[in-house]
Amino acid sequence: MSDELASGLRELAQDAETPPSMSGAEIRLRAVRRRRRRFRWTAVTVAGACAAASLALVVALNLTGGDREDRPSPAASPTAPPSTPSPAASPTAPPSTPSPAAPDATVDLSRRMLTVAGRDLPISSGSVRYPTATGRMMVVTKDSVRTLSLFAGKDLQKVAWVIGLRAADGTTNFVGTLTSDEKAPGNYDVTTGWIGLRRADAVWLYKQLEPGAVIEIRGATTPTPATDLSPSATVGTVLPGGTGGAATYPGRTADTPAPSVPTEPSVVAVPAG
């Protein structure tokens, strides 16, 4: 290229050159601001992306339940066998028998004692020859006076304050005043099977027990030595410890043979008259 051409081009360029509108310092300041704006935009973009990721995670956990302990348990396996209900009571099994209610009074023949309402009443029951029936009996009658046999079925006397008893099998018996021998209750047995009491005890028991009350008689008559039949013995008296079955009778001395005793029920009840 010729020198003239080059010179002409330089002149043309200089004529067309536009001077800058700002100084160099302002240009550098603009560059710094532009870089800061780019940094802030990048930070905002990253923060927005993190927030969006966190939001997506929370939504996913809420939809799936996450690993929380209160999430519903999985359904039972369809292959697991169903629980078998406990078998019902066998219809053929006999029902349990309830225990009988406690009796209102008890009689212990071996101790010669009737217990009722916390009180012990001495008794005289049937002799070895005429034993008193045992078991549970119910009060069925109450008589202020009733005729009963006293000794070996021979002496029929009117007995006061008599309570009539009956068992489930129909067996009957009585409780009353043993006025012929007040020493017998608690010491020896002299009756033909019924239960004798001292007068005061018989009156108290008569007021204590009402029809429907239950008396349970248990134990057995305690054997005692035979009656004293020596010549010095008083006629018609049974010494303490006597069985009553071998008792003497009014009008018979020790030398008089004892009358024969017919076989008959342990308790004899004769209508009062």
Q: Which CATH superfamily is domain 105-229 in?
A: L,D-transpeptidase catalytic domain-like (2.40.440.10)
pLDDT of residue 90: 54
Answer yes or no: is pLDDT of 122 > 90: yes
Question: What is the phi/psi pair of residue 139, to 5°?
Answer: -70, 120
Answer yes or no: is pLDDT of 152 > 90: no
Residue 21 DSSP label: S
74-121 pLDDT, tens digit per residue, is 555 555 556 665 555 555 656 666 778 899 999 999 999 999 999 999
SS3 state of residue 30: helix
199-208 pLDDT, tens digit per residue, is 999 999 999 9
pLDDT of residue 119: 96
- Kindly tell me the burial class for residue 22, based on how many C-beta atoms sit within 10 Å of its own C-beta (0-12, 13-18, 19 or more): exposed
Average pLDDT over residues 37-55: 75
Phi-psi sector, 117: left (phi>0), alpha (psi -120 to 50), beta = left
Pair of tokens at residue 157: 């006397």
pLDDT of residue 97: 67
